[in-house]
Amino acid sequence: MNTYLEDIKFILKSEYSKTLETATKQEIYQALSKTLMVSLTDQWEVSTKAYAKGKQAFYLSAEFLMGRALGNNLLNLGQTETFSTLLESVNLNLNEIEEIEEDAGLGNGGLGRLAACFLDSAASTRIPLHGYGIRYDYGIFKQLIENGFQKEEADEWLKYGDPWSIRRFDESVIVHFGDGDVRAVPYDTPIIGYEVKNINTLRLWKAEALVPFDFEKFNDQEYDLAVKSKNRAEDISRVLYPNDSEDQGKILRLKQQYFFVSASIQDMVKQFKQTHGDDFEHFSDYVAIQLNDTHPVVAIPELMRILIDEEHLTFKKAWQIANKTFSYTNHTILMEALEKWWEGFYKELLPRIYEIIVKIDKQFVAELKALNYDPNVIQKMRIISDHMIHMAYLAIYGSKAINGVAELHTEILKHQELKDWYALFPNKFQNKTNGITQRRWLALCNPELTAFITELLDNPDWLKDLESLKGLAKFENDDAVLNRLMDIKHTKKLQLVEYIKEVEGIELNPDAIFDIQIKRLHEYKRQLLNAFQILNLYFDIKENPENEIVPRTFIFGAKAAPGYQRAKGIIKFINEIAELVNNDADVNGRIKVVFVTNYRVSYGEKLFPAADLSEQISTAGKEASGTGNMKFMLNATPTIGTLDGANVEIVQEAGMENNFIFGAKSEEIEAMKADYDPVEIYMSHPRLKKIVDTLVDGTFNDEGTGWFKELHHSLLMGASWHQPDNYFILHDFDAYVEAQKAVNEAYKNKKEWAKKCLANLANAGKFSSDRTILEYAKDIWNIVQIDV
């Protein structure tokens, strides 16, 4: 312990000219983190060398939503108690130091968080899996709420540096674009396994100019031109998902995708050659590449480009190698989200890649013709059609395996959205239900519940085998256990109350039901349905002020993409409802609405354990899986939701009677699409009409933006790109209201409610990302565990 303290003091002195007494908490956080990095570098190198001998998997993803590193790394290293005691000895508090850390701004939603969970699980289960992505300077954005509107500002997560990454300039590669070359510089972050010696790697690429400064132009006093190439190059890794409403934004996004993919594939090929020489016939025996959604699909023609142009293989041989190397995870059922690129962008930016895709498309068409496919079907399935390159189709054709991320999602892909492809390649399709890491989403964020579970199971190793939670089922009628479970929930609610008061300046009642919906803001996730139900409850109270309900606090957390106007309108609408409800004397605290600002991983770590009710109300058939639903479940929280995504499997595990399921099923929605008329529902339902009309009758003010009127129009009239009420909010409204009434009644019986909570916790084991990653390793990558 004294060695650690001396290392911390040395770093403070050498880097900041400070002592423990004079250093800021930020400086102490940096010194503590760097001390840990020093302690694990030898083991990291041992892992890297051990992995290089066998087959490894590489996860290509535009996002890695990692969250804070210090607490998670201490937990996985088994050093939390050591460092807590160490800091106490010098009058410092570990929790306060942990709160200093900025969330790494490398992701946005479930896609990025899943990637982070997978890396944690792979290291913890001794699977040689490494991540490749982009080291964004600013992440997506930091969210502010001003007058109810979302405002975006730069998320400067790197303003104090990042003690958890190592810049490796000597391993830089050059990425070629039609308009010039860019240097890709890798930054490596260790991914530490839980109570094992394995340390995997997340390698993120930063874009830099080959010549960052034109001295001649500067000397000529053309100062902007002197750094123009530097700025244009660095734009590539500046911001996650830049606004692409105009062509310049689209081109930047394409550059981002090819930049990290090309750098990563070059890196893999270089590593392969160093260890295995030029025998690319065996490339897929040592390398498995997982494409996390369509963003990195350009990796398929990029590998072929390198094999053909630089390693001098034939097109046919390069195709065979690629086809055995890549696998593709589909994350969406929404056809509009299946990425397509105008071929003109490829011709301009990536001319050689475009040539290869054209050849792949011709080869595919020839194969379909040989199978006597109908010309109309061929045209529908072509990788290039109507001057658009269909990335999902390229991924399916070019990969050996395609997987959905929940049982329902995979079945919809096979029999609806991608049925032609399933008919052609039935053996390629698999299901891999998503999961979450129990280290961050229980052990780290809910140590009180973790300690209680360890006590009840009398098994300190249950965190390595989450199915062990089933052992809790025997306590379902044990009053003492149920009471302690609810006491822990109350403790987490008190902690959240304190945090929200500090951060948002809002007082909450810890005895109210904490009804929480936290996720990306998207219409299909139906935050608007939740808002309508709150208004319904509010109007009930206004009509009957003596109405007795269990006090309810509705908590929302969500970011809307900067260019997604309708989603931003929903945020403003929710905040207008909050202003109305929270300040009405008739309500008298019975309901409260809070929209927390800048929802992110570290905020989620406080929200998930404190929830009484998990809102998973997406339109059935639209959510691929969801992982927030799993985090709530793991923290002993019942779900109110539709039979969508992984909700289906959650109620299979925990029981329909322990959750609150409502709404049309996916097959019912599919059947009614053609004849659905929301106006008929609206006109025949006075209360619902009153609620919907608050968008346009002056009840709420959108400050002249016209956003509320557009929302109203989208529900009743639709738009050029979708039918009215595209996500069936009006259809499911009554069923949702009834489900919420059932929640109100069920919560009154404290013991029965506690049993529902315990049932969800006890049956959450299936949803560990450890299980998911081991399935990928066995069924798709064909790699084995390596015990370092």
Please list the active-site residues: 331, 519-520, 525, 627, 631
Shortest CA distance to 453 belongs to which of 435, 433, 473? 473
Q: Among candidates 351, 290, 365, 382, which has minimal Cα distance to 780? A: 290
d(CA 115, CA 121): 10
Task: List, in sequence order, every beta strand (DSSP E) within 135-230.
Answer: 142-146, 149-153, 166-167, 173-177, 180-192, 199-208
State the distance between the two ends of the chain, measured CA to CA, in whole angstroms.
25
Nearby residues of 3 by Cβ (< 8 Å), 6 or more positions away: none
Query: What are the beta bridge partners of residue 142?
Result: 153
**3-state SS class at 130:** strand
The answer to whether the CB of 26 falls within 8 A of the CB of 100 is yes
Q: Which residues contact 701 (CB under 8 A, 6 or more apart)?
A: 576
CA 233, CA 255: separation in Å to the nearest integer? 10
Burial grade of 234 (CB within 10 A; 0-12, 13-18, 19 or more): middle
Q: Pairing mode, if any, of strands 180-192 and 173-177? A: antiparallel
Radius of gyration of the chain (CA): 27
Is 310:272 a contact under the CB 8 Å cutoff? no
Number of CB atoms found within 10 A of residue 312's CB: 8
Amino acid at 176: H
CA distance 339 to 356: 19
Task: Tell me 192's DSSP state.
Answer: E
Helix axes 707-716, 686-693, angle to 10 degrees: 150
Vertex 36 angle, CA 31 and 37, to 5°: 95
**Residues 208, 211, 217, 221: is their CA dihedral positive or negative?**
positive
Cα distances from 145 to residues 43, 109, 239, 582, 585, in angstroms, run 44, 19, 20, 17, 25
- Residue that is written with structure tokens 């935050």 in the block: 527
| E strands present in 63-128 | none
Helix H or strand E encompassing 18: none
CB contact at 8 A, 470 and 453? no
> Residue 702 corresponds to which tokens in the numbers above?
């959108």
Do the beta carbons of residue 513 and residue 549 sit within 8 Å?
no
Give Cα 325 distance to the centre of its chain. 25
Q: Which has the closest alpha carbon to 632: 655, 603, 652, 609?
A: 609
Rounded-to-integer distance, Cα 133 and Cα 107, Å: 10
Instruction: Please identify which residue in the block is written with the tokens 């005691």.
Output: 85
CA distance 451 to 442: 10
